[in-house]
Structure formats: C-alpha cells, structure tokens
Structure 1
Amino acid sequence: MKKQSVLLFIVGFLLLMTALSGCAANQANGKANGTETIVNIGIQQNVDPLLLAREKGWFEQAFAKEHAKVQWTEFQSGPPQIEALSANHLDFSSVGNSPVISAQAAGIGFTEISNTRIGGKADAILVSKGSAIKTIRDLKGKKIAVAKGSSGFNLLYEALQHAGLKDSDVQIIQLQPDEAQAAFNSKKVDAWAVWEPFVSYETIEHQAGVLSTESDLNSLSPSFLLVRSQFAKDHPDLTVTFLKVYEQARLWQNKHFNEAVAIYAKAKNLDKRVVASALKSNPSINVPISEKIIHAQQKTADFQLSLKIINNKIDTGKVVDNQYIEKALKK
C-alpha cells in the first residue's frame, strides 16, 4: 500500500506540474483563460498617441470587442521595455532607434510594425543655463548623464565622434531619466543626452542650452511600434487593432491639438507650453517602415558595431514587417 501511495503521489505531482506549465505557457502567449486574451502594453515617458489612447481608454474599448483585456506597464526608457519583451512580459511597446538595434543584435524576438517618428530632433544634448560648455568639444573631461542603450545614448556617441572625441574623453554617467534630471538640475553632471519631452521641459522651464540634435549631425533617430513576434503570429488581428487604435489617437490629436495638449499636460504634470513644444519638434506619424528608415537604422547599427556597442553585424530590414500597418491603414 505504501508503494502504491508513493506512485499515486508521483503521478499526481507530475500531472500538477504539467498543468502549471500549461498555464504558464498560456500566460506567456497572452492567454488569461480560455476566452480572454491579455494584451500587455508598455509605455514610457513620452507625449504621443499611445499615452492619449491610454488616457481615453480607447485600447480597452477596442480590445474588449475582441475578448481581450489590456494591462499597462510604465517604463523610464526603451531598453527596459526590450527586456520585458524578451521575458514575454510585454506584447507591444514604443521605442526609439537604439533599443531596437541592441535587441536585434541580442536575438530578441520582436517585430517593427510601424514607424511613428522620423526623429530629426527627437533627442538633444543639453547643458545648464550659463554653462561655459558651448560645443561638443567642450565636453572633454566633463560628466554626461544618459540612459544606456537609449536613443540619447546613440546621439551622444555620434556627437562625440563627429567632434573628434572618444567616449574615454568624457565621463559617461549611466542614469535613467528621473535620476538624470535630478542630477542635471542640481549640476552634479555637466550635460544630459535625452529625448522629448525632457528637452522641451529643460529648455523652457530652466533655459537649458542645446549642444546638438540629430539634425545637426545629418542623422535620424526614428521611433517604432514593436510587437513581440510570437504574439503577432498568435494574434495577427489584435496586432492590426493595436495599430488602428494608435492611428485613431494620432488623428484625434492632430484635429484637437489644444485638447490633446491639455490631456498630456495633466497626465504628465507638465506645463502646456512644454507639451506643445515637444509635439511640434518631434511630430507623430504612423506609417509603414520605408527603405529610407531601414537605411538610417542600418547606418546606426554599423556605427554601433564599429564602437563595439553591439557585438555582431545585423540587417535592420530583417525585423520589419509592414503587413499589419498596411492593413490597419486600409480604408
């Protein structure tokens, strides 16, 4: 009887483990139960249609019609979103040029499904009001705050090379935006490489100076909507729905600009002037990813490879799939 009890226990335990593994697999694929799909959306500190749609509840409304439920997670920058995608904790995200390059080089399973910004002035290297630093070359020996792997990180390295400097010529302090902003405003760092709306906030509220943007370097810093590749395969219709809602929010923002500014200002506790400046300097789009953008990304990837920021050669066109945005934009 004891042997039989042990055998029954072992069988029962194995069945329980199998069931739990199945539940975990279903959750990783977005399944909450047999009928409802969980859609995990990442959002970072930007003012863009993703935030507007969240504030309006439009994703929740659209996905509910397809028996799906939305869960939001906030991030400081793009790289942590990539980590969440890699761990199957995120299905959709919006990030800049550099995080997707690092993600592709690391073999993470994501797909670029829309180009949301061109990014000529998406990022800037800032210095405090009254700073003696007037050019990038003046940064030699100075402390510069930046979020590692972000679009601001890439701008900083491009600007340094353009000025004939190496990263070893400056002190790069790796900080996420909340910590970097405190360090910058307390003058614990001499410069800060960051993106909108932080650029508009610092230049308007604190009269910070701009040393460089992408346009000064004849460079682009495009932004993208990403989907976890397996999620897109499992839920192609939800992927199209996601893009449709984003487009709904973008068009509403353009048509009701002042109302959108007020919504963003309240959501992020920003002055309306800051929000309006950020939206105008880095306007939102929602279009298929063009050969021009793929080429710009390839140029950035090759640049990062030359500096050993990434360790292997990549083809940036390989992560692009325009089928979803083309379906979403069909009348």
Structure 2
Amino acid sequence: MTIISNKRRLLLQGLAATAAAGTLPAFAAEERTLRIGYQKFNTLNILKGSGNLEKALQPLGWKAKWFEFAAGPQLTEALNGDAIDFGHAADTPSAFANAAGVNAVYLAAEQPYPKGIGIFVAQDSPIRTVQDLNGKKIALGRGWNVQYLLVRALEEVGLNYGDIVPVYVTNAADVRATFQSGNVDAATLWDPYLAGQQISTSPRILRDGTGLSNNRTFHLANPGFVDRNKLIIRTLFAELKKTNAWAQSHPQETAELLAPQLSVDAKVLRLATERRNYTTVPVDASIVAEQQQIVEAFYKLGLIKTQVQVKDKVYAEVLL
C-alpha cells in the first residue's frame, strides 16, 4: 500500500511540475477543445477569421481548433470518426451521411443559396441547354450538392440520370482540371469554385439551382458532444449570429477578410458573396421536407441504399 501511495504521490508531483512549466501532456490540453470542421467560403470561415469565437470560449475554459476539408463527404466522415465535434456540409452530403448512418445531427441551417451551384459548359460549346446533355460526359462528385442539382435539372427537361455519363472526381480542383482538359462535355461546381471558374474562363451556365435546389448548408455535430456541451454550442451560435449580421451588411469587407485566409482571389469571393445570404436558422419542418426530397431522389436512383427519415436526425433542442 505504501509503494502504491508513493507512486501516486510521485505521479501527481510530476504532473504539477509539468503544469507549472506550461507543458501539460497533449491529451490534457485537448480535453476542453471544440474541434470544428469547415470548407472554403462559409459563415464558419468568417467566424474563424474574426477570432471572436476563441475570445468567447476563453472565459469558459475552452479553445477552438479548426480543420479544413475539401468537401462535405470528407467532413461528415470525420464527424463519424470522432475526428471533429462540429462542422458544416451542404444539403446532399448531409443527406448521404444520414443514409450512411453517420453519427451526426442537424443543429441549424443556412438560408437558400441556389445561385451558388451550377452546371456549365465552355463558352464555345455546341451544347446550349440541359437537354443537350443527353449522352454527354459530365464531371461531378458522388454525394455533392451539384449532383442533386444535375438530377433535378435532367428531370426538368424529361431526361434521367442514366441519360448522361457521369465522370466522378474527388474534389473541386479535379473538376476544373478535367473540364479544362476537354475530356468532359460539361461540369458542375459550387461557390467559391463556381465563381472562380466564371471569372477565369467565362463558361456558359446551363442551369443554377433556382427553382430546383435551395443548396442549403447545414451545421452538424456529434449528438453526444452536444448533449454534454450545450453551453459551448450555444456560444458558438451566438458568435456566428453576430458574424453573419456583419457579413450580410459588409459583403466587400467579407470578401477581403476571407481572401487571404482561403487563398482565393478577393474578386472571386466578391462574386460569390453578392449572391448569398448570411443567416443561420433552426431546422424546421419545411427544411426537413427539402432534405427528405434529396434522400428520396437518390434512393430512387439506387445511389442511397437506406430510405432514412431526416426528421429523426434533427437535434431535439433548438440551440440558436
């Protein structure tokens, strides 16, 4: 018993000395860290750039750690693997995550952003309409918001997904490279990549999301983390609300703030900023219905295997 006590005393003394030196082990420092996943050009980007969340968390004994992801599917995979606690993804990646059983719940949604997604062709392409895409190769990614736009746009003109040849890639850079190589007839992108493509090559936009897809972004989190840390999530949303209000009334300044952070030209961000609305809202029944439509569309195509009920994936308590 004396030996155990001595060992315990020595361990505690060692930890105390380490703490005094400011070099506590990494596992102790991570215990009160909010791990946030984000993608280029979103309200979370603006919050990250402001530093205001860190200031709000500090009195609570917490800090924020930020992780950038290329697209929604990679971010939701990180949520499922407990690599992050909170993050955002577009409507379609979120629906695919629901169907795949990803351990994440909807906490909030952003306003519709239909002009931030598009199907496009080269300026000199003979393809003039979506109907002309019949039998053509189109660059896109599995489970992307623009994949849903393509499905709906084809349906609108009497075509179906089987009438085109999807050329699947893994990220926006691959879309641009594939499109510019001439190996596909058309491509799909979302902002800020769509805005970047418009500025760099002036493609012809065949269809954006207007009337077909609201292209919402959703804020998602591990439900267990939320259950244990509601104050932290409420603090995050309180700061996000302030950031959104500022961004909505300062579009040019928003673009200039994000440009160095994202390594994206400010004029690209200005174009993207002009066509979006920075507001975060609770996930209500109408938004759930939108998401359910996405699940049903891809289930019908056999691209989603589980006809999940989106309403079961919404966190029970509003934390905004």
| In structure 2, C-alpha distance between the alignment counterparts of 1:98 and 1:39, rounded to whole Å | 25
2:267 to 242, 253, 273: 273
Q: Can you list the C-alpha shifts for 1:178-211, whole angstroms capped at 9, x where unaligned?
A: 1111222332322111211122222233211111
Task: Give yes or no for contact 1:142–1:190 (8 Å, CA) kept in 2.
Answer: yes
Q: 1:98: Cα distance to partner?
A: 0.8
Task: Give yes or no for contact 1:148–1:174 (8 Å, CA) kept in 2.
Answer: yes
- DSSP 3-state at the match of 2:280: coil
Structure 1, unaligned runs of 5 or more: 1-30
Corresponding residue for residue 191 of structure 1: 186
For residues 95-110 of structure 1, the aligned pairs below 5 Å read 95-110=89-104
Q: 1:273: Cα distance to partner?
A: 3.0
Are 1:182 and 2:177 an aligned pair?
Answer: yes
Corresponding residue for residue 202 of structure 2: 207
TM-score, with normalisation over the residues of structure 2? 0.85
Task: Give yes or no for contact 1:35–1:67 (8 Å, CA) kept in 2.
Answer: no
Task: Give yes or no for contact 2:113–2:215 (8 Å, CA) kept in 1.
Answer: yes
Which letter does structure 2 place at the counterpart of 1:190? D
Q: 1:58: Cα distance to partner?
A: 2.1
Are 1:222 and 2:222 an aligned pair?
Answer: no
Task: Give yes or no for contact 1:145–1:173 (8 Å, CA) kept in 2.
Answer: yes
| In structure 2, C-alpha distance between the alignment counterparts of 1:287 and 1:317, rounded to whole Å | 16
| In structure 1, C-alpha distance between the alignment counterparts of 2:211 and 2:305, rounded to whole Å | 27
**Aligned CA distance change for structure 1 residues 237 and 131 (closer, same or farther; 3 Å):** same
| In structure 1, C-alpha distance between the alignment counterparts of 2:271 and 2:30, rounded to whole Å | 44
Q: 1:35: Cα distance to partner?
A: 8.6
1:57 to 41, 51, 58: 51
1:296 to 265, 290, 293: 290
Q: Can you list the C-alpha shifts for 1:78-129, whole angstroms capped at 9, x where unaligned?
A: 0011111110001111111111111111222211111113133231111112
Q: Can you list the C-alpha shifts for 1:255-288, whole angstroms capped at 9, x where unaligned?
A: 3332212112222333333212212222221111
**Aligned CA distance change for structure 1 residues 35 and 315 (closer, same or farther; 3 Å):** closer
Corresponding residue for residue 33 of structure 1: 28
Task: Give yes or no for contact 2:223–2:315 (8 Å, CA) kept in 1.
Answer: no
Structure 2, unaligned runs of 5 or more: 1-25
Q: Percent identity?
A: 26
TM-score, with normalisation over the residues of structure 1? 0.83
2:63 to 63, 69, 90: 69
Corresponding residue for residue 311 of structure 1: 305
Task: Give yes or no for contact 2:108–2:220 (8 Å, CA) kept in 1.
Answer: yes
